[in-house]
Chains A and B, each alone.
Chain A
Amino acid sequence: MRLPPAFLLLCAAGALYAQEASLDFIQNIENSQVSVHISGINEAGLWSHIVQGFRARVQYTLRIYQDTGRPSFFGDRLLLEMDLVQEGRWDVFGSCWEIRHTNGQRVFYRDWDEFFRNFRRLDFPLLAFSGEERLYMLARVRFQTMVFRPPLNILQMFYSGRDLQSAWRRFDVP
């Protein structure tokens, strides 16, 4: 397939802005964790993309702040900041769906629904902050349909127009 330059230029221009994704928090009091959900992903598109042998990526950016009570100009105290990445792909050997986490953990799923549910969800434990008060979490998520491999990764910025990105969302830790 040969793409006309004009089309590519349009892609490049449109790529500057990713589409808006929405983000939800679900608190699980029993095991003291919060689940961050991204919605708006085109499920059928993701499925057809992954079965072709490509991988997709969800990047969660989390920040835990402690409200100092001072005006926001002086800023609240940042306790933790982390980028957590989940890459989803099809495992041709096991004929199953695979999610790779930032820490190297790889989880395989026979069932697509289970894979999709876990792919767009991140469970974050809050036990480490149990003694702290006036905590809140800011989260942002970015979903990439296509993770380009080097040297094609240069295309990433021109194709980010197909990606989803959420605004920063706040979750007050109880």
Chain B
Amino acid sequence: MKMRWKHGQSGSPVVLLGLFFFYVLFVSLVLFFSNQVLQDFALNRNITLFVIGGLTILFSSLLLFTIGFQGFQLFRAGSAEKPGMRFKLRLVFFFLVIIVFAAVPQAVLSVNFINSALRSVFNSRVDSALRDGLSVAMQYYNEKAEFMEQISSNSFFSNLLQDSDRNGEAAWENLKQVLPYLASFQVFSQTGDEVYETGDRDFFAASEDVLAAAGGLLPREILKQNINVLRSKKEFENRRGRFFVVLSARLPETFDQYAENLTSTLETYRQFEQYRPAFLFVISTLYGLFSFPLMLLAILASFRLSDEIVRPLVNLEDATRKVAEGDFSFRILSRSRDELSLLADSFNRMVMELEKSRLKSMQTEKVAAWQEIAQRLAHEIKNPLTPIKLSAQRILKRYGEKTEDFGEVLYAAAGAIIREVDGLDALLTEFRNFSRLPAPQPQPVKLKDLILEATAAYRYRAENISIHCDEVSPAITLSLDPGQIRQVFANLVTNGIDAMPRGGDIIFRADIIKKGNTRYCRIQVEDTGEGIAAENVAQVFNPYFTTKSFGTGLGLSVVERIIFDHKGQIWFESHPGVGTTFFIDLPAEKQDEQGTGNR
């Protein structure tokens, strides 16, 4: 017998690997994005962000479409009641619940955590600290600036600088005593020509920069290496003309750095204060944007994983059904080493043992059946032998006595011998026909027409017997051997008539039913006769079993054989005194019901 193997598990990890690849790709994309947004990116990087956002949306759409398609397929398979689909649907639902239960609290917690963290960083104490720090820095700066500003307004400095165009050195020395942090001292004529300069040259101001400026404190300057310079311009006039003095003072090098840190942080704080709802909204949106595809990936994976779990079970169920239908050549192939694989192995062993047992049983049954047939055949042959022998002995006796009526006796005895021999001949012919029943030649046949044909001869011959076919749809067409099935109906009707010596009804019914994935036409032949006695029920289909004084006892055996050859089933229900109903299930295709199809 040729074995048929069915894979117990898919074994192909390509889809799962593909999903994992997309998972890694997407997580990398998200990490890249998050690194980007934490930097102070330039404007032209916005395009990168839009590309990432677009890819995310595209990816999500693709996943949504795939999940929708998978869901639709699952729904369709569930509607068609395909094996395992309900279980798969339940598994997908469970996975979905787990995913949602895991994702939703995580999302809420994450956003809440971000919000809390930001609130803890940007709180009123930080604001106060920043403002206080800024006040201190400004106070320090203003002190220096005020000193420089006083140079232009204070009469003391006016007197000190009055003669500086001629005696700059003395003025510089005096100023240094009052303002020790002065870095340079320059005297310019009204036209911008430099008259005198001293101090650190790095702090000298260009004449064109200060010429147009008004007197007093000039805007601060940042020199190289973030050195802050405060300059003050003071104009004076003496006999030699109009002049102006530029004094430069340096602030500590760290001042600008600290000031910059303070102002930037304060700026961040103010922005956060103003845009916190928007920021949280954007963070939540982006979190959702990036979490959603990952959730979709998980859902898609759940479809695949459900499939992996359900497939071996479906295969096992399929194999079990096949075995139940009598196909013992079915085996399940499993490559994994898990419990399902052990189950498949057990199943295969069980089928193997069942097959051995069945073959053995069939052999025993076959021998027993032949023994019974031989016994019955011997009995049936032996019965007529006695009258034949008696007739022959009677002929010999009368012939020896030389009686006058020898001719009459001879005629009667010879007639009896011929009758018995004819009976034997009929018996052997029927036996030969039973053993040589040809294979059925199926063709599309209208069931009702066939029943009417098979029962036509009995409608008028049997008195007080009514045959009803009203409950057989004329639309039912089956693929069967009309000659053989006609014989089946004829035998059943004959049995029914024999069981109703005082008359009665024989009723035919037919319905389309479904057993597993196979459709059958169930035909019922009911009589209102005496029924079958309980002790005979088990022997009804045995060859040469009959309760009648006439007949060979092969009728129902032939019926069973024909139905078996048509891959059908036959059984009966009988109630003594009420009647007997024979049930016949014959395979039917879907279109047969509508009367259009054939095999």
- A residues sitting closer than 8 Å to B (CB atoms) are 1-3, 5, 8, 11-12, 16, 52-55, 57, 59, 61, 83, 85, 91-94, 96, 106, 108-110, 142, 144, 146, 148-158, 160
CA distance A20 to B171 in the complex (A): 58
CA distance A16 to B43 in the complex (A): 13
Closest to B144 in A: A93
Knowing A53-B270, A93-B259 are in contact, say whether A150-B137 is a contact too (CB < 8 A).
Answer: no
B191 CB to nearest chain A CB (Å): 22
Q: Is the CB of B278 within 8 A of A3?
A: yes
Closest to B283 in A: A154
Can you list 19 residue pairs at the A/B interface with Cβ under 8 Å?
Answer: A1-B277, A2-B277, A8-B277, A12-B282, A12-B285, A53-B267, A59-B42, A83-B42, A83-B44, A85-B42, A92-B134, A92-B138, A92-B263, A144-B43, A150-B38, A151-B279, A154-B37, A155-B282, A158-B282
Closest to A85 in B: B42
CA distance A51 to B383 in the complex (A): 131
Knowing A83-B44, A142-B43, A152-B275 are in contact, say whether A157-B268 is a contact too (CB < 8 A).
Answer: no
Knowing A8-B278, A158-B278, A160-B46 are in contact, say whether A108-B221 is a contact too (CB < 8 A).
Answer: yes
* A to B contact number (C-beta, < 8 Å): 95
B257 CB to nearest chain A CB (Å): 13
Q: Is the CB of B138 within 8 A of A93?
A: yes
B-side interface size class: 35 or more
Interface-centre pick from B40, B43, B259, B271 (highest chain A CB count, 10 A): B43
CA distance A135 to B263 in the complex (A): 43
CA distance A158 to B286 in the complex (A): 12
Q: Is the CB of B274 within 8 A of A1?
A: yes
CA distance A8 to B276 in the complex (A): 12
Q: Is the CB of B268 within 8 A of A149?
A: yes
Inside 8 A of B101's CB, which chain A residues have their CB? none
Inside 8 A of B219's CB, which chain A residues have their CB? 94, 96, 108-110
Q: Is the CB of B220 within 8 A of A91?
A: yes
Of the candidates A5, A61, A94, A142, which one forms a contact with B220 in the assembled complex, judged by CB atoms under 8 Å apart? A94
B281 within 8 A of A: yes
Q: Is the CB of B220 within 8 A of A108?
A: yes
Q: Is the CB of B275 within 8 A of A154?
A: no
CA distance A93 to B266 in the complex (A): 14
Of the candidates B49, B138, B222, B271, which one forms a contact with A152 in the assembled complex, judged by CB atoms under 8 Å apart? B271
Inside 8 A of B347's CB, which chain A residues have their CB? none
B412 CB to nearest chain A CB (Å): 117
CA distance A154 to B41 in the complex (A): 9
Q: Is the CB of B49 within 8 A of A157?
A: yes
B50 within 8 A of A: yes
B572 within 8 A of A: no
Interface-centre pick from B40, B44, B259 (highest chain A CB count, 10 A): B40
